[in-house]
Amino acid sequence: MKEKNNFLADLRVTDPRDDKTRIERTKGTLLFDSYRWILDHNDFRQWRTERRLLWIKGSPGKGKTMLLCGIINQLVDMGYESTFFFFCQATDARLNSATSVLRGLLYLILDRIPSLLSLLRDKYDSAGAGKQLFEDINSWDVLCKMLLFAVSHESLHDVVLVIDALDECTSGLDYLLSFIIELTAHVKIVISSRPWPSIHRGLAAALEDTKMYLSLELNEEVISAAVNNYIHHKVHQLANLKEYDDETETTVHTYLTVNANNTFLWVALVCEQLAGNLVAKEHTQQILQEYPLGLVGLIV
């Protein structure tokens, strides 16, 4: 037991389950009505039945991360119990490298299937390197071999790997993209990112009949409906918190609907400011007019 705990402690850079909980708390409520559209989308259905790789791409603030949180939940509900995930974040050194992605995924797998640990310990024990095994110059190759072995083992079935915000992987992204393609021979994968040409080029080597690209910008109608559901929920919360009268509630709802531009993050940031203790409800309508439109003016 002690050896198992040492291995996992040395492997761990984060627990992606805790990251998911934090994201859902800080980004706002995960609403089924805000992501249910993708479950019926042809691209998602085709990925489930025929393809191996689904790349969801969209501009900042379009709700990619929360969409993937919803997909993770639904996959588990659908019976994909071997669903493992990682959320990249450029501003956190623990979450912005390709090796961190592999360590996070492997940590979840080994935590769920402890019996795999004994099959992976040889190099860890013989090297006597401890944590350095996962951090030195050869760590990438070591982790790739370990993850490939783990996801291919008979103790795991219908494995799905979900990796959010590849554009926020600031170290080793090219290696990660190549390995993702290699992994598609063994598992299904969902990834998300901004629509960067470099990521598109990195995925080009994957066979055309194995991959699906889903652009949020090309699905404006369903995204707009999802954002409107989110607005309705957030305004209802604000109205209860601030004790809005009907006129103020309608004004806030209309303002957000007109100016959201299909951007979840902008709505979330405006509502966060309106919910602050310094904003009196009688000043709400006036203050709304002072808020900048678009994300640039709101993100400091």
Identity at 290, one-letter amino acid code: E
Confidence of residue 41 (pLDDT cuts 50, 70, 90): very high
pTM of the full structure: 0.93
Break the chain into its structural domains and give their ranges: 2-219, 221-288
DSSP, collapsed to helix, strand or coil, labels residue 171 as: strand
- Cβ neighbourhood burial of 18 (10 Å; 0-12, 13-18, 19+): exposed
d(CA 139, CA 208): 31
Task: Look up residue 281 and give its two tokens.
Answer: 């409800």
Longest dimension (CA), the chain: 71
Q: In the predicted model, is pLDDT for residue 127 greater than 70?
A: no
The rounded distance, in Å, linking the Cα atoms of 215 and 224 is 14
Quote the pLDDT of residue 156: 94
Residue 233: per-residue pLDDT: 95
Distance of CA 168 to CAs 65, 99, 110, 121, 162, Å? Answer: 12, 13, 25, 31, 15
pLDDT, residue 276, reads 87
Query: By mean pLDDT, which of 14-28, 122-136, 194-208, 240-254 is the weakest?
Result: 122-136
When pLDDT is averaged across residues 23-28 and rounded to a whole number, the result is 87
Tell me how far apart the alpha carbons of residues 45 and 22 are, in angstroms, rounded to a whole number. 29
Dihedral sign of CA atoms 132, 133, 134, 139 in order: positive
CB 171 within 8 A of CB 96: yes
User: Tell me: the pLDDT tens digits for 134-190?
Assistant: 999 999 999 999 999 999 999 999 999 999 999 999 999 999 999 999 999 999 999
Task: Tell me the CATH class for 2-219.
Answer: alpha beta
What region, left, alpha or beta, does residue 164 occupy, with left being phi > 0 and alpha being psi -120 to 50 degrees? beta
pLDDT, position 299: 58
Q: In sequence order, what DSSP letters do the residues of 73-135 get, joined into one string?
A: HHHHHTT---EEEEE--TT-TTSSBHHHHHHHHHHHHHHH-GGGHHHHHHHHHHH--GGGGGT
Kindly state the percentage of the chain with pLDDT values over 70: 96
Q: Is 105 exposed, middle or buried (0-12, 13-18, 19+ CB in 10 A)?
A: buried
Across residues 250-261, what is the average pLDDT? 95
| Average pLDDT rounded to a whole number, residues 256-261 | 94
- Tokens linked to 265: 């993050």
Q: What are phi and psi of 188, to 5 degrees?
A: -90, 145
pLDDT band at 234 (very low <50, low <70, confident <90, very high): very high
Q: 130: pLDDT confidence band, cut at 50, 70 and 90?
A: confident
Q: CA 71, 74, 79: angle at the middle one, nearest 5?
A: 125
Give Rg (Cα) of the chain.
21
Residues 98, 70: Cα–Cα separation, whole Å: 23
Query: For 272, phi and psi rounded to 5 degrees?
Result: -65, -40
- pLDDT tens-place string over residues 49-106: 999 999 999 999 999 999 999 999 999 999 999 999 999 999 999 999 999 999 999 9
Residue, of 298 and 77, whose pLDDT is higher: 77
